[in-house]
Structure 1
């Protein structure tokens, strides 16, 4: 169940000494080919970390040989020295692997504003190259090495007809569109062009990671990378591959949601009857980012009034006095008025479903979020200590 399941990939995860705890903190994933096709999507935050700036340039030609990922420091707002650390990391990987530095992606995650030690990263890359493995152990170590406040690694494998997809992700906070402090690496041994990979990846992230809005806070370091080795020598139909990729991304996104910092409820906000899909997304997002609603769910309170108040702030066309709201299968609001008693709603399970029926059109979308808890506030106030 790791990124090394597809043929042609090796991975490693080591303790390079970036984290003071001595935990695994540097991962390396290498595409041994025969092809090195790739695609990537990045955070839309205007404040972007040095690895994002570097990796945008690397990914532009659709050729990637390897990716280095570190936890323990975001390398964001660290000036020219920070960019040199990123460059130095890529050069170390390139030298040890016999590839071009311009074909090595770099990702970082952790605290913003802390300068990373280039020598530690360089030595870590050398150690990781020596530990590269195509078995599950290497992939599992890599998935653990990119964790920050995560409590568990996130991994997935989807098997196609003669080809497969593997993936790993990290993220437990700052999960919001613009991708979500989220790093994702997906591998496949399918034989596809960079253009096909790019199309499939953008379609998959649009309905998975971009719909995950845990706390409304957009990261500076988000990156989702798709690497294809072509080692299976099988070229699936693009639509078939896109469906499998979406399945893999959805699994990883749901694992991210389930591990969100301090959360006690995983909330799916389903919006139906919108004029357009974008309208449905806007409506769902307005509820997902409403702290009063999220606090009510934490208290097991089906306060549907906070749902209507939140969607009333959007520009989506609908009549607020025709809206229905259901929570965990109980319609508590019908046509903008009370319906079933609130006591009929059981919000004690972790899984929470909110259905908003706008009665304005035929489009729909689902946004995934979490409740707002005491533990979330504590974890994010004590994160740097």
Structure 2
């Protein structure tokens, strides 16, 4: 049920004809209250799609009634026509729901730089269809409607004593920090204040979605939204809520990693004993973005020299000649030199674990990435055709 698992939320996903597959491509998620709290984080890319520009204005007062999402077109770099399309989408939803357009978030995903009157008409018609189909069982169809190159819908639910959190996500390519190319909607029936929701969401995304770095390419349309309505009547401890939100966000992030375009290995890069968490993240990300390392993993080659070469480009504090590296449980490098034979490392499983021990501090961080494959290059060489 994903986003409709918590009480007081309805959703729908419908076929509007934006995609040639005949599958759902417009989704609506509605908060029925009693509270209408909203929080969101957006791509840090300076090149932002029209729905991002609109939604950043909507979220300013932290009141959100509904979210309208479409796949099959990013509505980015489409000029004033594109922003008008986003505005009209919010107005259409507001009219049918009896709310203010200024309380309706809009999200889009798909090909950049395309959009015409036909696209607009299909989005508006799909919005109307989805609102007519809203139900407390509509979460799964909504999750399907936001898929682009995704092969599976991605949903998660975390329940606690008397309240719950539900979420849906999409993303398979352009997965890099600044939220990765993802649309995520998270709902909760916990009773939160607006600032609590905002704080919890930023803490969760910073530790989960922002540490998914599959291919180093940042999208223009990234948005993670949290809707809270207090329908459970339970006001949780904010630390407990944040921990639950981190748990749900991590589950969705791992599902995004597992469905990355063309990937044959899901790589978990764990950095230990850094001076600071910032250093640990920087070191992990340097390896996640190193194409030589990623190509080696694709070829099942435990080339740990590429790991040291990558982390040596960072500004993190450590001695490159006092670093240990483990691959799938085998220490292949110790104190900057060879340790166990490479032949002992089995890289044939899809799940791949890289441990980098900087041996200088107490901080740790984990980055999620994938290998660089022929299939990834092929899929992205023909994305617009």
Shared fold, TM over 0.5: yes
CA distance in 2, matches of 1:343, 1:86: 55
Written as runs of structure 1 = structure 2, the 5 A alignment for 1:92-103 is: 92-103=92-103
Q: Choose from 111, 123, 127 the match for 1:125.
A: 127
- Aligned pairs for 1:188-203 (under 5 A) are 188-203=188-203
Structure 2: distance between partners of 1:324 and 1:228: 44
Provide the C-alpha distance between the structure 1 equivalents of 2:11 and 2:192, rounded to a whole number of angstroms. 21
Give 3-state SS (helix, strand or coil) of 2:321's partner. helix
CA shift for structure 1 position 265: 0.5
Aligned residue in 2 for 1:170: 170
How many angstroms does 1:18 deviate by? 1.2
* Map of 2:22 onto structure 1: 22
**SS of 1:318's equivalent?**
coil
Q: Which residue of 2 aligns with 1:318?
A: 318
Shift of 1:59: 0.7
State the Cα distance separating 1:22 from its structure 2 match: 2.0
Q: Which residue of 1 aligns with 2:287?
A: 287
Q: 1:368 is matched with which residue?
A: 368
Structure 2: how far apart are the matches of 1:188 and 1:318? 42
Which whole-Å CA distance do the structure 1 matches of 2:200 and 2:155 have between them?
A: 19
Please give the per-residue CA displacement for 1:64-123, whole angstroms capped at 9, x wherever unaligned.
000000000000000011000000000000000000000000000000001152222111
Partner of 1:139: 139
Deviation at 1:360, TM superposition (A): 1.6
Instruction: Kindly indicate whether residue 329 of structure 2 is the aligned counterpart of residue 356 of structure 1.
Output: no
C-alpha distance in 1 between matches for 2:32 and 2:269: 41
Structure 1 residue 63: Cα displacement: 0.3
CA distance in 2, matches of 1:181, 1:275: 30
Give the whole-Å Cα distance in 1 for the aligned partners of 2:347 and 2:328.
Answer: 7
Normalising to structure 2: TM-score of the pair?
Answer: 0.99
Corresponding residue for residue 245 of structure 1: 245
CA distance in 2, matches of 1:80, 1:330: 56
Partners of 1:163 and 1:253 in 2: how far apart?
Answer: 22
2:62 aligns with 62
Mark the runs of 5 or more structure 2 residues left unpaired by the alignment: none
Instruction: Name the residue aligned to 1:160.
Output: 160
Looking at structure 2, the residues matched to 273 and 157 of structure 1 have their Cα atoms a distance apart, in angstroms, of: 33
Deviations 1:199-245 (A, max 9, x none): 00000011100000000000000000000111111111101100100
Q: How many residues align?
A: 383
1: CA distance, partners of 2:256 / 2:124: 29
CA distance in 1, matches of 2:131, 2:230: 22
1:107 maps to: 107
Give the corresponding residue for 2:379: 379
* C-alpha distance after superposition, 1:350-369 (max 9, x if no partner): 11000001112111101000
With structure 1 as the length reference, what TM-score do the two structures score?
A: 0.99
Name the residue aligned to 1:84: 84
RMSD: 0.7
Correspondence 1:28-47 to 2 at 5 A: 28-47=28-47
Cα deviations by residue, 1:127-183 (Å, 9 ceiling, x for unpaired)? 111100102xx1110000000000000000000110100000000011110001200
Displacement after TM superposition at 1:2 (Å): 1.4
Alpha-carbon distance in structure 1 between the residues aligned to 2:122 and 2:371: 38
What secondary structure does 1:3 align onto? helix
Match status 1:342 vs 2:342: yes
The alpha carbon displacement at 1:317 in A equals: 1.1
Say if 2:207 is the partner of 1:207. yes
With 19-28 and 278-287 compared, the bigger mean Cα shift is at: 19-28
Deviation at 1:267, TM superposition (A): 0.3
Post-superposition offset of 1:20:
2.4
Q: Secondary structure at the match of 1:60?
A: helix
Cα distance, 1:194 vs. partner? Answer: 1.0
Give the CA deviation at 1:21.
2.5
| Deviates further, 19-28 or 79-88 | 19-28
Farther off after superposition, 41-50 or 1-10: 1-10
Between 46-55 and 375-384, report the one with greater CA deviation: 375-384
